[in-house]
Amino acid sequence: MKGISAIVVTILLVLITISLVGFVFVFFQRSVSEAAGTTTEQQQQLQTQLGKQISIDNAAGTIVTIRHAGTGAINLTNDLSVYVNNVPVACAWGNHDVLLQPGNTATCTLASPCASDSTVKVTAPAAPAEFTCG
Q: What is the pLDDT of residues 49-78, one digit of tens each?
A: 888 999 999 998 899 999 999 888 999 989
58 and 90 fall within a common domain = yes
64 and 33 fall within a common domain = no
Q: How many domains does the chain have?
A: 2
| Distance of alpha carbon 83 from alpha carbon 6, whole angstroms | 81
- In tens, the pLDDT along 82-117 reads 999 999 999 898 766 788 999 999 999 998 888 888
- The domain in which residue 43 lies consists of 1-50
Residue 65: CB partners within 8 Å, gap ≥ 6? Answer: 56, 57, 58, 59, 105, 106, 107, 108
| Distance of alpha carbon 112 from alpha carbon 69, whole angstroms | 27
36 and 76 fall within a common domain = no
65 and 126 fall within a common domain = yes
CB of 52 closer than 8 Å to CB of 74 = yes
64 and 46 fall within a common domain = no
64 and 45 fall within a common domain = no
